A and B are shown apart, each in its own frame.
Chain A
Amino acid sequence: MTAQSTPTGTAADATPAVQSMPFSRAINAGLRAALAASDRVLLMGEDIGRLGGVFRVTEGLQAEFGDRRVLDSPLAESGLVGTAIGLAMAGFRPVVEIQFDGFVFPAFDQITTQLAKLTNRHEGALQMPVVIRIPYGGHIGAVEHHQESPEAYFTHTPGLRVVSPSTPNDGYWMIQDAIASPDPVIFLEPKSKYWQKGEVDTSARALPLHASRIVRRGTDVTLVGHGAMVTTMLQAAVLAEAEGTSVEVVDLRSLSPIDYGPILDSVRRTGRMVYAQEAPGFTSLGSEVAATVMEKAFYALEAPVLRVSGFDVPFPAAKLEGVYLPDADRILEAVDRALAY
């Protein structure tokens, strides 16, 4: 493991190891710890310095570490990722912020033809420790290009690692582990969770970067998903419990690679699985997980694996996002269908 993977943090000794903080502050604390642990770590992005990012995830970091460590870059996403690649070639560990999910596409070429493939192209002589942070997903009532879930574009690209924390504790630790990774990591931040508080234990990480996790125990059906949908699945689980259905919930956390251990363990106990996601369903992450679970746990299944997703349409105008995005009721509808088999 590299030095960055065991950050000391900057908190004073008197600061308790377990604190409650919003998701955005937890990522901020994780970035601060990584910046403090290694002077090779750089943050780059649009408006991330003086402003602290449009979501304030990098707030205060430029003031603390200087404008050579936290860069307000020109407004050009391909330029951001392309120069981050060059900086990695020069021995840096850049962390790039893309301002919104829908604005990653100008950088799509650099991410998929260069960043993802350079280690392979160099036959292992070059590592690409670049993190691309992308606030993603809906629920914020924003204009076009600000509410999308582009994860499948990246999970489909060999050479990339893709993760998405859903809790403040995971945000704090997973950003540091992503920065410590020698491989490029697409770090998807469910932006609707930025303001949600949770406990962060800065004394020790709970799980490795690429582990999935059972976040609620149940016996009748397994819900699997990532990002903001974890919250929705937990809401569905509470509602189902009132109706006498015991629902288990798995937070995928890592979208590539996928840790199938807890998922298969769960499905083998419940016999039923529903995948929930905001992204359109066609050729999506849920499709991939569903296919793999059916291959690996076929005899344990009492029902087909079902998917609940956004519709296969462009993310609609914000007044319809409540219709477009799966909610607890849509998940429960699928749970009922699974139970009906």
Chain B
Amino acid sequence: MTSDATVPAASPDPVRFLQADGTFAPTPAAERYAPLVDALGDTELEGFYRDMAVIRAFDVQATNLQRQGQLALWPPSYGQEAAQVGSARAARPQDHLFPSYREHVVTRIRGVDPLDIIRLMRGLTHGGWNPFDPKNGNTHIYTLVLGAQTLHATGFGMGLVFDGRCGTGDPERDEAVIVYYGDGASSQGDVHEAMVFAASYRTPEVFFLQNNQWAISVPVETQSRTPLHLRGAGYGMPSIAVDGNDVLASWAVTRVALDEARAGDGPRAIEAMTYRLGAHTTSDDPTKYRTADEEESWRRRDPIARMKAYLLARGASEAFFADVDAEAAAVADDVRTRTNELGGLEPDAMFAHVYSEEHPLVEEQRRWLADYEASFEGGAA
């Protein structure tokens, strides 16, 4: 007996406004979101495009910097720009974002300096920025242990509930949490436990799954025999499938989910179907596990080309696209320049901040290293 009969089929109809060629053709599932999208003006629409194009240029620059030996590693966001721009632009200023480690688009939109991510990947820090500094838009630092951040986001959301920082009915004030994870991380127990706690405490939280089809070399079918967005129902959590390469759909779905969550309706799950057009990281070789045909089929669904076609059809000017290209080039150049100016680390940096209060063993070792280093001064070594 095959069990396939019991496996629910993927939703044939994710929320989508833009077809791959940029045609505006909302799916039936998109209808409830249509008024939101219809209300978007040129400024917002062109802003979405600008976000995606500029960060892709940064992402390509960072990959090049790694190839040139300037970075230890780079995990490209290439191809996932629409899911990230849409969701990050949907968040309100008071919201709290918990990324995984590929959310370069999300972090920049919230105000994080891309150079802070460069410093992380260059081996200068394990973090990079202060989530509690207002300039970083409540964006938490990257988490490299897959799925671990989903529990932190849920705990943070519990804190919002306990402190009455959500559920008052004022969307301009009520706070919400959005946490990013991927199809690989969806198999982690922490994601399950986070959803259990979130549902139990009705956290104002959106679980934003970017299904980019591959967990390094393992296809999503190995993670789940059922479409991932169907899992939400098992937790009693509304769960929406969206075309993650459509920035309009990604924005609208996340906007509604966050506003419902902040209003006190409980957590939501979103599965954004997208594709990692680049490698998992610069250490990866996708030709070992996926075909050129598959990659090409997703290139035809490129989120940036799709949005450009849509904007052109709406009458966006060539001057606009030229301006975006110029900004993208400037951002990429700026990152290269500043990367090359980055200094190193003092040896005793590792001893700072192991604890908030002094720990005698750490302090003893810090002093020992200083004495040891000093013993070589004057040419003893």
Query: A interface vs B, CB < 8 Å?
Result: 42, 68, 73-74, 76, 78-79, 81-92, 106, 109-110, 113-114, 117, 119-128, 158-159, 161, 181-183, 256-258
Question: A84 and B155: CB pair below 8 A?
Answer: yes
Question: A87 and B126: CB pair below 8 A?
Answer: no
Nearest A residue to B350, CB-CB: A120
CA–CA, A76 and B190, complex, Å? 9
Chain A nearest CB: distance from B151 CB in Å?
3
Q: Find chain B residues with CB under 8 A from A78 CB.
A: 151, 189-190, 193
Chain B nearest CB: distance from A22 CB in Å?
31
Q: Find chain A residues with CB under 8 A from B356 CB.
A: 119, 124, 127-128, 182-183
Using a CB-CB cutoff of 8 Å, which residues 152-168 of chain B contact chain A? 152-160, 162-163
CA–CA, A181 and B355, complex, Å? 10
Q: Find chain B residues with CB under 8 A from A257 CB.
A: 359-361
Most A CB within 10 A of own CB, among B152, B189, B190: B152
The answer to whether B219 has its CB under 8 Å from any CB of chain A is: no
Q: Find chain B residues with CB under 8 A from A87 CB.
A: 155-156, 158-159
CA–CA, A173 and B134, complex, Å? 37
Q: Find chain A residues with CB under 8 A from B352 CB.
A: 123-124
Please tell me which one of the listed residues B145, B162, B194, B354 contacts residue A79 in the complex, with CB atoms under 8 A apart.
B194
Nearest A residue to B189, CB-CB: A78
CA–CA, A76 and B155, complex, Å? 13
Most B CB within 10 A of own CB, among A92, A119, A123, A182: A123
Nearest B residue to A182, CB-CB: B356
The answer to whether B91 has its CB under 8 Å from any CB of chain A is: no
Question: B197 and A122: CB pair below 8 A?
Answer: no
Q: Find chain A residues with CB under 8 A from B357 CB.
A: 181-183
Question: B355 and A76: CB pair below 8 A?
Answer: no
Question: A86 and B132: CB pair below 8 A?
Answer: no
Assuming A79-B151, A87-B159, is B200 touching A74 (CB within 8 A)? Answer: yes
Assuming A127-B356, A182-B357, is B127 touching A109 (CB within 8 A)? Answer: no
Q: Find chain A residues with CB under 8 A from B132 CB.
A: 125-126
Nearest A residue to B363, CB-CB: A257
Q: Find chain A residues with CB under 8 A from B126 CB.
A: 117, 120-121
CA–CA, A87 and B154, complex, Å? 8
Q: Find chain A residues with CB under 8 A from B151 CB.
A: 78-79, 81-83, 85-86, 110
Q: Find chain A residues with CB under 8 A from B143 CB.
A: 114
Question: A110 and B148: CB pair below 8 A?
Answer: yes
Q: Find chain B residues with CB under 8 A from A109 CB.
A: 145, 148, 190
Interface of B is mostly: helix
8 A–B contacts, CB within 8 A, in A order? A76-B193, A82-B155, A84-B155, A85-B151, A86-B156, A90-B156, A114-B148, A128-B356
Closest 10 CB pairs of A and B: A86-B155, A82-B151, A90-B159, A83-B155, A79-B193, A182-B356, A124-B353, A86-B156, A125-B130, A86-B152
CA–CA, A127 and B131, complex, Å? 12
Chain A nearest CB: distance from B128 CB in Å?
9
Question: A86 and B157: CB pair below 8 A?
Answer: yes
Chain B nearest CB: distance from A336 CB in Å?
33
Question: A91 and B152: CB pair below 8 A?
Answer: no
Please tell me which one of the listed residues B127, B148, B159 contacts residue A91 in the complex, with CB atoms under 8 A apart.
B159
Q: Find chain A residues with CB under 8 A from B189 CB.
A: 78, 106
Question: A161 and B355: CB pair below 8 A?
Answer: yes
CA–CA, A182 and B354, complex, Å? 12
Please tell me which one of the listed residues B125, B127, B141, B153 contacts residue A86 in the complex, with CB atoms under 8 A apart.
B153
Please tell me which one of the listed residues B131, B153, B194, B362 contacts residue A126 in the complex, with CB atoms under 8 A apart.
B131
Nearest B residue to A259, CB-CB: B360
CA–CA, A258 and B360, complex, Å? 8
Q: Find chain B residues with CB under 8 A from A117 CB.
A: 126
CA–CA, A91 and B131, complex, Å? 13
Instruction: Give a binary string over B343-381; 1 marks a CB under 8 Å from any A CB, 0 the rest.
Output: 000000000111111011110000000000000000000
Q: Find chain B residues with CB under 8 A from A159 CB.
A: 354-355
Please tell me which one of the listed residues B130, B158, B162, B190 contacts residue A122 in the complex, with CB atoms under 8 A apart.
B130
Q: Find chain A residues with CB under 8 A from B200 CB.
A: 73-74
Question: A82 and B159: CB pair below 8 A?
Answer: no
Apart from A76-B197, A110-B148, list 7 A-B contacts with CB within 8 A.
Answer: A86-B155, A86-B157, A106-B189, A120-B126, A120-B353, A124-B352, A183-B357
Q: Find chain B residues with CB under 8 A from A92 CB.
A: 159, 162
CA–CA, A80 and B14, complex, Å? 34
Question: B145 and A114: CB pair below 8 A?
Answer: yes
Question: A113 and B158: CB pair below 8 A?
Answer: no
Q: Find chain B residues with CB under 8 A from A42 CB.
A: 162
Assuming A79-B194, A83-B158, A117-B126, is B355 touching A183 (CB within 8 A)? Answer: yes
Q: Find chain B residues with CB under 8 A from A73 CB.
A: 197, 200
The answer to whether B196 has its CB under 8 Å from any CB of chain A is: yes
Q: Find chain A residues with CB under 8 A from B362 CB.
A: 158
Question: A89 and B152: CB pair below 8 A?
Answer: yes
Chain A nearest CB: distance from B131 CB in Å?
7
Using a CB-CB cutoff of 8 Å, which residues 21-38 of chain B contact chain A? none
Question: B148 and A79: CB pair below 8 A?
Answer: no
Q: Find chain A residues with CB under 8 A from B131 CB.
A: 89, 122, 125-126
CA–CA, A256 and B143, complex, Å? 26
Question: A89 and B354: CB pair below 8 A?
Answer: no
CA–CA, A257 and B162, complex, Å? 34
Q: Find chain A residues with CB under 8 A from B158 CB.
A: 83, 86-87, 90
Instruction: Give a binary string over B166-202; 1 marks a CB under 8 Å from any A CB, 0 the rest.
Output: 0000000000000000000000011001101100100
Nearest B residue to A130, CB-CB: B155
CA–CA, A85 and B152, complex, Å? 6
Q: Find chain B residues with CB under 8 A from A82 CB.
A: 148, 150-152, 154-155, 190, 193-194
Q: Find chain B residues with CB under 8 A from A258 CB.
A: 361
Question: B197 and A120: CB pair below 8 A?
Answer: no
Q: Find chain B residues with CB under 8 A from A106 CB.
A: 189
Q: Find chain B residues with CB under 8 A from A126 CB.
A: 131-132
Question: B155 and A85: CB pair below 8 A?
Answer: yes
CA–CA, A40 and B154, complex, Å? 17
Chain A nearest CB: distance from B100 CB in Å?
14
